Structure 1
Amino acid sequence: MAEQLPFDLPVRAALARDDFFVSPANALALGLVESWPNWPSGKLILSGPSGAGKTHLTHVWAALSGAHILSAQDLHSADIPTLARKPVAVEDIPAIAKDAEAQTALFHLHNLTLAEGQSLLLTGSGEPKHWGLTLPDLMSRMQGTTVVALEQPDDMLLMAVMAKQFSDRQLAPSPDTISYLIKHMDRSFADATRIVMALDQLSLSEKRPITRALAKRVLVS
């Protein structure tokens, strides 16, 4: 039987609870997300490196709470009073480190959401004190928020993350490809994402299936 060749298909990330692989690196974060009505002061920060699952957990929480999700960079055009009437999640807070207007909008959203008795979820990489925020009142609100960190992955989580990223791209690597990659790549979410994207592009350009041989070429490039 002929091998299936790759096609340039759209990436559709699976972001449901059942698609989230639980490991010691993220179990605490998942537990807090799922217990959201009991958050101290009604708010929580998800912190972790790129690719750790912050966006996935944000969507899990939105499905539970009915929250609206927006990027911090979209706060300029957001209707803050309307958003504050229901749970809300704001992603990638460090992206507005140099944006005074967006920081002011987030400060008002924070206060109005909690005043309405709603919940607020925020995401970013690293500790909030290192996010580069310049509005003092907003900085104090962030530092007074419970933070839960998603850690760098163990083997099982890294394998699950890569398998999911291939699946999101509608790719089916050979059975030994992922295990080979895990043994030879940098152990980080960022490197996993880079490798999957590179393999997708290489397999598409050369019209070849994703195999261990193709993976070896990506690793040494």
Structure 2
Amino acid sequence: MLKSPTLFHTASPMRQLILDLLPDSPPTLDNFVPGGNAETLTAFTGWLAGTRAETSFCLWGEAGSGCSHLLLASGFTYVDAAIDRGLAKAAASGQLAVDHVDELNADGQIALFNHFNRLKMAGGMLLTAAPQPPAHLALREDLRTRLGSGLIYRLQPLSDAEKAEAIAAQAKERALKLSPEAINYLLRHAPRDMRTLSMLVVALDQYTLEQKRPVTLPLLRELLNLEANA
């Protein structure tokens, strides 16, 4: 995945250094933090493994809950309907993942309907994600019915306490000393999605080694470039 330019707004030397430190971290099932979604994750991994016969699996939840992470981690052919609203780039794959299905235009809805029928006939698998369950989406009735016939699970966003616990565990794995104050600072000032927070833990570990300095709030401010003199 491309390193996010949204963390830093200009190309100062410090900002460029942090962008260079941020690791490539492709979404996987192993680096997904389940929080209160253990049951959903168990159902999802079981479906991926072929333990369920349903053609489709729909994940729904608010932005930042992890739907896109799991779709990318599935290994299926991935299409983002927010970018390709007509599904023009959706290949005739036996395992198709369509993100943001609520963004499909009329052509895209017809295309997904046809993909569903093709996959059902061929024993394939369709994975979708949306902010609401299929029954509440503004889609063609026949498509809503198809998506509603499969497995439907909600992903709950992580609470701040769950994010703090995950950050602390990741820091401990790296023998990186992060105080509760430092973790709270990250949660207040860094992007709040768990994947970016995890990447920042790695970058922070590398930065402290390079600078030969412990983690302090001033160092965190420097890392995130929140102060004008950073």
What TM-score range do you get, normalising by the shorter chain?
0.5 to 0.7
1:47 CA drift (Å): 0.8
Does structure 1 retain, via aligned residues, the 8 Å contact 2:57–2:150? yes
Q: CA RMSD in A?
A: 3.8
Report the equivalent of 1:95: 103
Which AA in structure 2 matches 1:113? Answer: L
Query: For residue 115 of structure 1, what is the aligned residue in structure 2?
Result: 121
Which one has the bigger helix percentage?
1
- Name structure 2 gaps, 5 residues minimum: 1-13, 170-175, 201-217
- Deviation of residue 129 (structure 1)? 2.2
3-state secondary structure, aligned to 2:114: helix
Cα distance in 2 between the residues matched to 1:9 and 1:158: 22
- Taking a change above 3 Å as real, the CA distance of residues 76 and 146 of structure 1, as seen in their structure-2 partners, is closer
Corresponding residue SS for 1:137: helix
SS at match of 1:18: coil
Q: CA contact under 8 A between 1:173 and 1:211: conserved in structure 2?
A: no
Q: How far is the alpha carbon of 1:180 from its aligned partner?
A: 4.5
CA contact 1:45–1:123 (8 Å) conserved in 2: yes
Structure 1 SS opposite 2:78: strand
Deviation at 1:136, TM superposition (A): 1.9
Q: How far did residue 8 of structure 1 move?
A: 5.0
Asked whether 1:129 is paired with 2:140, we answer: no
- Relative distance call for 1:161 and 1:51 in structure 2 (3 A) is farther
Conserved? CA contact 1:45–1:122, under 8 Å: yes
Identity, % of aligned pairs?
Answer: 22
1:9 counterpart (19, 25, 48):
19
Cα distance in 1 for partners of 2:132, 2:79 equals: 20
Extract unaligned runs of 5+ from structure 1: 165-171, 186-190, 201-207
| Mapping 1:13-28, distance limit 5 Å | 13-23=25-35, 25-28=36-39
2:220 alignment counterpart:
210
CA distance in 2, matches of 1:95, 1:173: 43
Listed as ranges, the matches of 1:171-190 within 5 Å are 175=179, 176-180=181-185
